[in-house]
Structure 1
Amino acid sequence: MNARAPRRGLALGILIGNQLLAGVGVASGIAVAALLAEELTGTAVLAGLSQTASVLGAGIAAIPLARLAVARGRHVALGTGYALAFVGAVLVIAAAVTEFVPLVFLGLAAFGSGAAAGLQARFAATEVARPGFEARAMSLVLWATTIGSVAGPNLSQFGDDLGRSLGLPPLVGPFLLSGAAFAISTLVVATLLRMPRPGDLEADHASAVGPVTDASPPATPAATPSPPAPADPGAGIQAPEASDPPGRPVGSWRALAIAARDPRALLALVAIVCSHTVMVAVMVMTPVHMHAHGLSLSLIGLVISVHILGMYAASPLVGWIVDRLGAIPVIAAGVVILFSATLIGMLAPADDLLLVPLALGLLGLGWSAGMIGGSALLTTSVGTDLRVPLQGASDAAMNFAAAIAAALSGVVLEAGGFPAVNLVGAVVLVPLVLVGARALATARRATA
């Protein structure tokens, strides 16, 4: 076990550094994707589909990348995701040069594979973490996205100038930077990253008393003995059921069906999907709402920066709290924070430069709590053979829900204004509250 520790520490460092690089790749291209699509199509309606194409691409890629991780290893799956994003950047450049519009949306869909790989990297971090530090490792990988998300858009002007100097059309240059970032990410992952078996946690080997429970920190001699494993309502899930052929891998949708019957695993899934859906639905309409009320682009950019800081800057703290207190209390806190954000968003005037940034900052912080808490609970509430396919299914569901939210939130804004968008976001949290109450009730009955 100790002989593997240096390699696991190196793997975590590579994941963090590579996430930073891939974050630059995603953000620098996405920052100008809608503008480029509008330039090529001549209409803002089709330009709005650029974000949808990228999100759908991430959702479509999530399950195949999870299957590839099981079959060939995490480094192969991550490298493939980044390589597809590189191909997507090349296709976008080709579309701009040839003015062949369908190619730009195909390229943006492939570009979304980079985001899918970045999401998978957070689960990979738990597999190289010491027992009791899984959520912190995951949060560090997410935190690295902050730097990439901030640096990427700020490099867009440099990329555009570079592209113009090479004779490329306007707004294409940033995709040169994206392609270079993803090419480097692919090489780094393929040549340097080596991971343990996908879904295999160090805690699985270190624990001598059965499955890992939600809120179990590393044991110490003075610690109070943990409850027996059978009392854990999520501990009884095993990977293939008895009817499955021995050794046959579990598919993502099969894993989703099995996990949905367990209260803790279902809570983890709903926490990830609902938190992300609420965040996307409100966030994408905030700039439109503010711009319609006459606010400048600089003020809109400031509010979005506050939102991004809320999403990622506090993630190491959120991960630490998950490791100390458990995932379920953090998910509950995330629900309260998201409800608060939507309530403030319903009541705040568009030009209120205190309440609007506060609402968007809380929206990002609530997303962080739901995402990290849900992902940590998902990892520890199912058996080893279910983990990776279930992770792929959760990421796919999360991205598909976000794509639907992005598409419908404009309709809601048009019909009822920004308060209606926030009201719908609050309603999306209701299933999470109900599933959480059921999970807690099941845990109490099991303990009794």
Structure 2
Amino acid sequence: MPRRGLSLAVLIVNQLLAGLGVASGIAVAAILMERLTGTAFLAGLAQTCAVLGAGIAAIPLARLAVARGRHVALAIGYASAAIGAGLVLGAAATGLVPLAFLGLAAFGAGTAAGLQARFAATEIAAPGFEARAMSLVLWATTIGSVAGPNLSEAGDAAGQALGLPPVAGAFLFSGAAFACSTLLVATLLRLPRAGTLAVDRMPQTESTPDAASSATPPEGAEPTDGGASASASTGTGAGGERIGAWRALRIASRNPRALLALVAIVCSHCVMVGVMVMTPVHMHEHGLSLGLVGLVVSIHILGMYGASPIMGWLADRRGAVAVIAGGGVILFVATAIGVLAPADDLLLIPLALGLLGLGWSAGLIGGSALLTESVDEELRVPLQGASDASMNFAAAFAAAVSGVLLGIGGFAAVNVAAMLVLIPLAIAWARVVAGSDRHAAAA
């Protein structure tokens, strides 16, 4: 077994570097693409390309984690992001626009690896502390995400000193941060077999009641035909073959708790991205300064990551299902404020974006914790990869649709659509609660 304290510290420092790498590049990606292409439309595809790259990389990285270990998968993800930053720099120097889009897609692998790191934290946590370990790793992203954009000017100066076009130099810091992340996880990080929690390594007689219950079929789950229920429990097919990501999704859909976890992760991310990406545009169109826009975005990022340790503590102490419910309520309140608040209201708009980040934090941490505890270890990693791919693809779709909705019905329409995304979350949550009530009544 690796030393828990050292491994968690490496993950935290690594996540700080990864957050710095992502934020440094994404902060100027759209501006750089507009300079290269001369059109705002293609510039808007910069973030979409990075998000799609994260979605595409999620499942291969999960497979690599199973085959070679988490540290290898994380190192490959961060190395891909470093190479992507280099490709973007090459595109800026040569003017090759396709090379820039390819680089941004590879850059998205860093985001995919950062998301996978939260699951790695659960695998080295002591029993009953899985969500808190995950939340600490996510919290470290706050420092990098806030520091990254503030290094844009220094990166620009360094880039121009090397003969790069304006703005492109920020990707120097991104590439350096991801290169450091790659070396850190490849040399110092050692983790248990991917998907294995501490409770799985304990003798059966010593396992905790919660650990034992997580390995049994969840409340409300119904048996299926032909050995499918056994597959849902063990994570292997009827013939013992390894389960891929998409088959893992189909198996999990028959498990109400696992399904709630997936819906919570995807819906929370979809709502957050759909509203967040259009908020700066909405504010700028109504004459607010870039300084105020940056302040609101900073409040939003603080809501996303700053309170994550609290969400992890609540998930461990009160249960992931309760945290998911709280996250759904917070997201609903945030979008309701977005519908009603004037664009120039300097109290309600920051409040809405702060709550949006807080609701996302609850949904992601609660959903990830529930996903980890609701299935056995053979199913965890492919399901984690599928959930990360799904949340990124949903975010890319939400970002594209939100732009159309903003043009048709304004910021209120964007928030109303976000409210509708919460309906599947409410249904999945009600199904789990109803199953728990039936189980309690039968007992």
Give the shorter-chain TM-score range: over 0.9
Q: Give the paired residue count.
A: 433
CA contact (8 A) 2:214 2:375 kept: no
* Cα distance in 2 for residues equivalent to 1:122 and 1:88: 22
Q: Which SS does the other structure have where 2:164 is aligned? A: coil
Answer yes or no: is 1:443 the counterpart of 2:436.
Answer: yes
Deviation string 1:3-37 (CA, Å, 9 cap, x unpaired) is: x36x1221111000000011111100110000000
Partner of 2:233: 238
Percent pairwise identity? 69
CA contact (8 A) 2:62 2:73 kept: yes
* Cα distance in 2 for residues equivalent to 1:137 and 1:207: 22
From 96, 121, 128, the equivalent of 1:125 is: 121
Matching residue's letter, 2:249: L
Deviation string 1:101-155 (CA, Å, 9 cap, x unpaired) is: 1110110000000000000000000000000000000000000000000000001
Partner of 1:297: 290
Matching residue's letter, 2:305: Y
CA contact (8 A) 1:275 1:366 kept: yes
Q: State the 1:442 CA deviation.
A: 1.6
Partner of 2:336: 343
Matching residue's letter, 2:429: G
Partner of 1:360: 353
User: Which ranges of structure 1 fall in alignment gaps of 5 or more residues?
Assistant: 220-225
* Cα distance in 1 for residues equivalent to 2:218 and 2:35: 59
* Cα distance in 2 for residues equivalent to 1:75 and 1:433: 36
Partner of 2:95: 99
Deviation string 1:331-390 (CA, Å, 9 cap, x unpaired) is: 000010000000000000001100000000000000000000000000000011000000
CA contact (8 A) 1:271 1:371 kept: yes
The residue correspondences of 1:37-48 to structure 2 (distance < 5 A) are 37-48=33-44
Q: State the 1:231 CA deviation.
A: 6.7
* Cα distance in 2 for residues equivalent to 1:232 and 1:148: 40
Q: State the 1:210 CA deviation.
A: 9.9
From 60, 64, 71, the equivalent of 2:60 is: 64
Matching residue's letter, 2:238: S
Distance of aligned partners of 1:432 and 1:316 in 2 relative to their CA distance in 1, 3 Å threshold: same
Q: Which SS does the other structure have where 1:349 is aligned? A: coil
Q: State the 1:227 CA deviation.
A: 11
Distance of aligned partners of 1:231 and 1:253 in 2 relative to their CA distance in 1, 3 Å threshold: closer
Matching residue's letter, 2:360: W
Q: State the 1:243 CA deviation.
A: 2.5
Answer yes or no: is 1:329 the counterpart of 2:322.
Answer: yes
CA contact (8 A) 1:60 1:396 kept: yes
Partner of 1:314: 307
CA contact (8 A) 2:70 2:194 kept: yes
Q: Which SS does the other structure have where 1:250 is aligned? A: coil
Q: State the 1:69 CA deviation.
A: 0.2
Answer yes or no: is 1:376 the counterpart of 2:369.
Answer: yes
Distance of aligned partners of 1:207 and 1:133 in 2 relative to their CA distance in 1, 3 Å threshold: farther
Distance of aligned partners of 1:230 and 1:44 in 2 relative to their CA distance in 1, 3 Å threshold: closer
From 275, 289, 292, the equivalent of 1:282 is: 275
Q: State the 1:177 CA deviation.
A: 0.7
From 177, 182, 186, the equivalent of 1:181 is: 177
* Cα distance in 2 for residues equivalent to 1:228 and 1:88: 40
Matching residue's letter, 2:379: L
Q: State the 1:446 CA deviation.
A: 2.5
Partner of 1:222: none
Deviation string 1:218-268 (CA, Å, 9 cap, x unpaired) is: 99xxxxxx8995674569732345523x3x321111111101111000000
Q: Which SS does the other structure have where 2:124 is aligned? A: coil
User: Which ranges of structure 2 fall in alignment gaps of 5 or more residues?
Assistant: 222-228
* Cα distance in 2 for residues equivalent to 1:253 and 1:12: 30
Partner of 2:224: none
The residue correspondences of 1:24-173 to structure 2 (distance < 5 A) are 24-173=20-169
Partner of 2:415: 422
Q: Which SS does the other structure have where 2:160 is aligned? A: helix
CA contact (8 A) 2:236 2:243 kept: no
Distance of aligned partners of 1:66 and 1:241 in 2 relative to their CA distance in 1, 3 Å threshold: closer
Partner of 2:242: 249
Deviating 4+ runs (over 4 angstroms) = 209-213, 226-236
Answer yes or no: is 1:193 the counterpart of 2:178.
Answer: no
Q: State the 1:441 CA deviation.
A: 1.2
CA contact (8 A) 1:140 1:315 kept: yes
CA contact (8 A) 1:342 1:359 kept: yes
Q: State the 1:443 CA deviation.
A: 1.9
* Cα distance in 1 for residues equivalent to 2:22 and 2:218: 43
